[in-house]
Structure 1
Amino acid sequence: MSRHFECERIDRIRLMSEQRLFSVVRSIVDELSSERATRLGMEQGLMSLWDEFAAQVAVEQNDLFEIYEEYVESICMTAARKLPTFDLQILALFSDTYVEWWLDRDEDRGRDPSDEEVAEWVGYDLFALVLEAAEAEGNLFLEGVMHSV
């Protein structure tokens, strides 16, 4: 097999992994969007937990921001643990944490990462993507507020 073919195959696997990650992120956002904003002292006028989280990510002004963050991170970790082992292993291969683990594993040569480690890496990736989505949506929300003033 040619090197070009191998690189193309890896690129396709990476693309499929990213698509899978984004589909899980979408389901997390949908879950948060379906939760009413009735807890944690939500801002008035926001309809869902996702709306509130996105607004809080954009401004980080509420004293309860860490609670929002921890709650959403726990949802991401739970979503990762629910994924099939094969999905987790493939998704983890492209995480920054896997690269760090692989580079630092001199003393652990021959040891594969545990399922729990892999789920944690994927959970952190999911959380980072959810934060990016929340920041983008929160900024749009703030722009709308600024234009209405």
Structure 2
Amino acid sequence: MEYEPPKHAVSVSALVMNEKSEMLLLRTHWRSDTWEMPGGNVEVGEPLDEAVCREFLEETGIVIQPIGITGVYYNATKHVLSVVFKATYVRGEIRIQPEEIKEARYIQINESNIGQYITRPQQRSRTLDAMRAKCFVPYETWEINLGYNLLSRLDNE
């Protein structure tokens, strides 16, 4: 039997809150039954922190700065590894791509009302974990050719 390398997709999303402690959530056309954190698939060779910034900007028009990872999740059916970041708002106004995104807005979410907005259990657990996170998992991006070059690092400092 010949070795076949695993084929997994990697996705990223981010929890961003405004000054009123409302989180920016969106609904897509293909998952319009639930609200979720903005995000999407990582491109081949793309650092995760750059991917979450790119996806967030594409989906919402908002520029963010990741501050750490709040959780890592795996969809065993679709072979998707999902990494969730907490991030801060940098600049921009909500602007959506209507062919992909149905709606995006800031919503006041808490543990008692989350089920009214985030109806899918895997999205709900990711959001709750991100809301509750008091510290973050360190994340580094390295470029390794003839030497070792640290491109970026996120940690609790």
TM-score with structure 2 setting the length: 0.22
Structure (1/2) with the larger strand percentage: 2
The structure with the larger Rg is: 1
Structure (1/2) with the larger helix percentage: 1
Higher RCO structure, 1 or 2 (CA under 8 Å, sep 6+): 1
